[in-house]
Amino acid sequence: MFLTLQASHSRSAAISTRDGVGSVRFDVLITGKHLHINSQTVLAGGIGISNGRVRALIGEEDLGHYMSAAKRVIDAGENPVLPGIVDGHVHVRDPGQTHKEDFATATRAAAVGGVTTILTQPNTSPEVIDENTFHAVREIGERRAIVDFGIQARLDPNRPKASIYLAANGIASFELSTNQLEPGGLIAALALSTKLKPSLGCYCEDRALVEYAAEDAAASRLADAPAFLRSLPAEVEVGAAAHLYYMARYFGTRLTYRQVSSAATLAFLRWARAAAAGPSFAIEVNPHHLLLTADDFLRLGAVAKVKPPLRSKSDTVALWVALAAGVVDLVGTDHAPHSVDEKACGVQKAPPGFPGLETMLPVLLTGVAEGRIDLSRLIQAACEFPARWFGLYPRKGSLQLGADADLVIVAPERQVLIQPAELQTKAKSSPFKDITLYGQCLLTMVRGTVVFDDGRIQVAEGHGMFVAAEFE
């Protein structure tokens, strides 16, 4: 079977079942036995690409007729071809903190990790909070990125006109941390967000309990690492998540629960989702909370310091189960790089966070290899759902007709030993150091152009484009 797109820019394009061979021309033809068009469709055959978009899906029985129609043929063989990953949680650090990371190094890391679209977090210097800061970040990204990017902004309830402008100009989400706002500020933020289409991404910590737990940890005379864990117990997360849910339920705010790390929070959100008349929300987890535990933090110290902290083994099991069941909606890296020197100053002083763009796909493919999830759920949680939720679908998130030709070819059974010194990110420290994971990215393509292949970056800075979010 051969499908060809008749109206490439239409979301509901007309499709015919056969064209004459002579009228078909492709810039690239991807062939293989396992072409994952989306989470539900696997094709043996080919994907025809022209002008950066998917133009044809060709069944294996007809593939021979169209091999000569392509300028270049890339054969994946038995290796799965997946839609490019959409990472909805990336701290690029550019502008203002480029000693940690910048658009060039972050997007190089993304390309190596099979991530074809990143959504940048707003806590740069200055923060992305208004028209000027938005355009400053967009300009840097368009000049230096090698994969595509969207922008997320800080929601400022005291500047509603700025937020309205950002929403109208393609912001993928607004962001806030519940422990940084007074109760009145949170109410104002929720009320404003309800009038805007992008979701409100929330990092959940109960401010009063965090302050009390920090004092308790300081008085405990524990060593720095155990004291850090004691200062941020799971209760600060689930308490804030529950409080936020009821407030969002009042306003009808669309939420993204960022960085959910505990079984207790999952249990509450599972109940909340089943409750009548609740707000629409998505649940994000991070790869490090799927793989690493508090024992790793106690062993590694500052290198593995992150917020929320690494939890118990039972929490990691609960996250995997929830991801497999579809309770968890999306996986985002929370790629949060810091310099080696910053991480070397001990648990108490080191900033939280570490790089994740190059390790997310291997973590998830390790989950596939171990039978925790299947490739369908990987594609749903790392490609399709993030693209839908953040307003990038159908352009991103799948390889359906008319979509951007963003894809990754992986060797799912190949083992990869993580060595931080070999990572593309500036942050040459990682809690995944010396861990062997399954799944290697062999080739990454963004809008029909190979950006990573044969172990090397293949394009110059500036190939990446800003992708504006569009919501129904």
pLDDT at 40: 96
pLDDT at 449: 98
Based on the residue annotation, tell me whether 295 is a catalytic residue of this protein.
Answer: no
Confidence of residue 17 (pLDDT cuts 50, 70, 90): very low
pLDDT surpassing 70 at residue 19 = no
Under DSSP, is residue 371 helix (H, G, I), strand (E, B) or coil? coil
Lowest mean pLDDT among 34-43, 120-129, 269-278, 350-359: 269-278
pLDDT surpassing 80 at residue 2 = no
3-state secondary structure the chain: CEEEECCCCCCCCCEECCCCHHHCCEEEEEEEEEEECCCCCEEEEEEEEECCEEEEEEEHHHHHHHHHHEEEEEECCCCCEEECEEEEEECCCCCCCCCCCCHHHHHHHHHHCCEEEEEECCCCCCCCCCHHHHHHHHHHHHHHCCCEEEEEEECCCCCHHHHHHHHHCCCCEEEEEHHHCCHHHHHHHHHHHHCCCCEEEEECCCHHHHHHHHHHHHHCCCCHHHHHHHHCCHHHHHHHHHHHHHHHHHHCCCEEEECCCCHHHHHHHHHHHHCCCCCCEEEEECHHHHHCCHHHHHHHHHHHCCCCCCCCHHHHHHHHHHHHHCCCCEECCCECCCCHHHHCCCCCCCCCCCCCCCCHHHHHHHHHHCCCCCHHHHHHHHHHHHHHHCCCCCCCCCCCCCCECCEEEEEEEEEEECCHHHCCCCCCCCCCCCCEEEEEEEEEEECCEEEEECCEECCCCCCCCECCCCCC
Question: Mean pLDDT for the chain?
Answer: 93
pLDDT at 415: 96
pLDDT at 1: 43
Mean pLDDT of 84-89: 98
Confidence of residue 179 (pLDDT cuts 50, 70, 90): confident
Confidence of residue 13 (pLDDT cuts 50, 70, 90): very low
Phi-psi region of 448 (alpha: psi -120 to 50; beta: other; left: phi over 0): left
Which CATH topology does 2-78 take? Urease, subunit C; domain 1 (2.30.40)
pLDDT at 180: 81
Task: Provide the greatest CA pair distance for the chain.
Answer: 78
pLDDT surpassing 60 at residue 148 = yes
Mean pLDDT of 190-198: 96
pLDDT more than 90, % of the chain:
91
The CA distance from 437 to 418, in Å, is: 8
In the CATH scheme, what is the code of domain 82-457?
A: 3.20.20.140
Confidence of residue 284 (pLDDT cuts 50, 70, 90): very high
Confidence of residue 269 (pLDDT cuts 50, 70, 90): very high
**407-421 pLDDT, tens per residue?**
999 999 999 999 999
pLDDT at 3: 43
pLDDT at 182: 79
Domain boundaries, the chain: 2-78, 82-457
pLDDT at 22: 55
Instruction: Identify the active-site residue in 130, 334, 404, 406.
Output: 334
